Amino acid sequence: MAGNPHVGVLALQGDVREHAALLASLGAEVTLVRRPEELARVDGLVIPGGESSVIDKLARPFGMQHPIRDAISAGLPVLGTCAGLIMLADRLADGIEGQQTFGGLDVLVRRNAFGRQVDSFEGAIHVPALGEPAVRAAFIRGPVVEDVGSDAVVLAVLDDGSIVAVEQGNLLGISFHPEISGETRFHERFLARVAEWTAVRAA
C-alpha cells in the first residue's frame, strides 16, 4: 500500500503475530524480519515479547545482532515490548550467563521482575504522554527498569514506583503487552516516529 509506513516485526521468537496484526490494523505494511536483508527494507522495527535469552541466542546465527545494533545507532525507530525492552536495554541486572542485548536505551533492566507466568496480571496505568484514558496493561513475566540514565525519559510508573515504560530518541521500551490488551497508542506513537524518520531520510 503506497504511502503507508513499512515496518518490521522481529520474528525470531515471541508474540510476533499479535504485533503484526495490530500494526496492519493501523495501516502499516508489515514485514516479518528474520534476515539482515529484510531489516534493511523496513523503516521501523518492533521487538516483541517472548524470551529475551532466546531472542539473543537466535539473533546471532541469523546474523541479526550487529545489523540491529547498527540500525539502532543510525536512528531506526524501534518499539520493544517486554522481552523487547530487555533487548533494548544497555544494562541487565540479572541476565543469564553470556546474555547480550542490542542496546540503545540508557537503562538498567531486571528480567522477570513480576514473578512467574502464574503471577501475570492486568492493570490500569497512567501514561501522561498518551493522555487519557489510562492504559490497560498486561504484565506477563515482565521486566522493570531499575535505573534510568540521563538520555532516557520515563513514560510510566506503577504505584509502587516500578518504571515500566521509557523512551529515548528513536527507541520506545515498555514492560507490558499492549498488543494483547488492545491498546494501540504505543504502536501509534511508534508509527509517528517512523513517519518522522522516513521524512528526514527523504529530505
Our answer to whether residue 179 is catalytic in this structure is yes
Tell me, what CATH number does 56's domain have? 3.40.50.880
Residue 113 lies in a domain: yes
Residue 83 lies in a domain: yes
Closest CA to 167 of 96, 57, 78: 78
- Residue 203 pLDDT: 76
pLDDT at 79 over 60: yes
- Mean of per-residue pLDDT scores for the chain: 92
- Residue 1 pLDDT: 38
Residues 6+ apart with CB under 8 A from 178: 22, 81, 135, 137, 138, 184, 185, 186, 187
Residue 51 lies in a domain: yes
| pLDDT, mean of residues 123-150 | 90
Could you give the number of structural domains in the chain? 1
Q: Which of 19, 167, 177, 183 is catalytic?
A: 177
Residue 78 lies in a domain: yes
Q: Which of 19, 82, 167, 183 is catalytic?
A: 82
Q: Which of 19, 167, 179, 187 is catalytic?
A: 179
Tell me the C-alpha to C-alpha distance, in Å, between residue 52 and each of 10, 40, 49, 81, 96: 12, 22, 8, 11, 10
**Structure-derived torsion over alpha carbons of residues 130, 82, 194, 20, reported in degrees to the nearest 10:** -110
Residue 1 lies in a domain: no
Cα(12)–Cα(31) distance, integer angstroms: 13
pLDDT > 90 in the chain, percent: 79
Cα(174)–Cα(169) distance, integer angstroms: 14
Residue 68 lies in a domain: yes
Residues 6+ apart with CB under 8 A from 171: 72, 77, 78, 80, 88, 104, 105
pLDDT, tens only, 10-60: 999 999 999 999 999 999 999 999 999 999 999 999 999 999 999 999 999
State which residues form the domain around 64. Answer: 6-202
Closest CA to 57 of 100, 92, 95, 93: 100
- Residue 131 pLDDT: 92
Question: What count of other Cβ atoms lies within 10 Å of the Cβ of residue 162?
Answer: 19
pLDDT at 116 over 80: no
The structure's pTM equals 0.93
Spacing of C-alpha 39 from chain mean position:
15
| Contact by Cβ (8 Å): 180, 138 | yes
Our answer to whether residue 177 is catalytic in this structure is yes
